Amino acid sequence: MAVVTGAGRGIGAAIAIGLAARGARVVIADMTPPDATVATIGGAAVGVAADISTPAGWAAIEHAATAAFGDVDIVVNNAAYYPNHPIDDLDFETWRRTMSVNLDAQYLSAKQFVPALRRRGWGRFVGISSNSIGLNVQGMSHYMASKMGIIGFMRGLANDVAADGITCNAILPGLTHTVATEAQGEEARRAVWQAQAIQRFAEPDEIVGPVLFLTSDDAAFMTAQAVVVDGGQYRVG
């Protein structure tokens, strides 16, 4: 059984639908009730409105999961907060909210679910980071710091739980065609595409395959990794 956060729309919704299509039962978490995603999946899904930046939010997610389906095996932390603020305009409240949603949630999910996963000897954590950490993106220092932190936390957590059959990895998508990116003009879109080998935005469904792999038994020996899925924009290695 899987938990996917920020799954009311966009990449999170696509991941939840993809996991359900593979046979998983899915708890879909978002700030507001994710009714559309639940309706798309049907009986294999339950929605919960929860603030994933708080311990109470994760307790609510586990309660919904247990009541509907039982034990959680997979956690995909996809929810994100990403206002654009150059450093001169970046206030501490925005900094903290960015960190709490994007990074604190990773820690809180581990604290909530690692004990039970250890007892069962199997589990998967996937943190959705961002390829922006390797790009020239202005006004996003807070966001980039939080997304780089996801990679560090997944790597550190992997060391702590590897002996218990639990893997922890990060996925770094590039800009993806969602409601959040639709407002970008053609010129801005092309500026992104021209830096990629595949010159278009990703579709949400194209982020799903790597998630399905990392949460499967096929990836049992893959942990503490950062997998870039951005059409060849940010090239590492």
What token pair was written down for 99? 């960190």
What token pair was written down for 73? 């095996």
Angle ∠(140,128,45) on CA atoms, nearest 5: 130
Rounded Cα–Cα distance for residues 159 and 154 (Å):
9
Rounded Cα–Cα distance for residues 78 and 11 (Å):
8
In sequence order, which ranges of 22-140 are alpha helices (DSSP H)? 35-41, 55-68, 92-99, 105-120
Facing residues of 27 across strands?
A: 3, 46
Rounded Cα–Cα distance for residues 191 and 228 (Å):
19
The residues annotated with a catalytic role in the active site are 143
- Would you say the C-alpha torsion 37, 42, 44, 50 has a positive or negative sign? positive
Angle between helices 105-120 and 55-68 (to 10 degrees): 40
Say whether 100 sits in a helix, a strand or coil.
Answer: helix
Rounded Cα–Cα distance for residues 226 and 228 (Å):
6
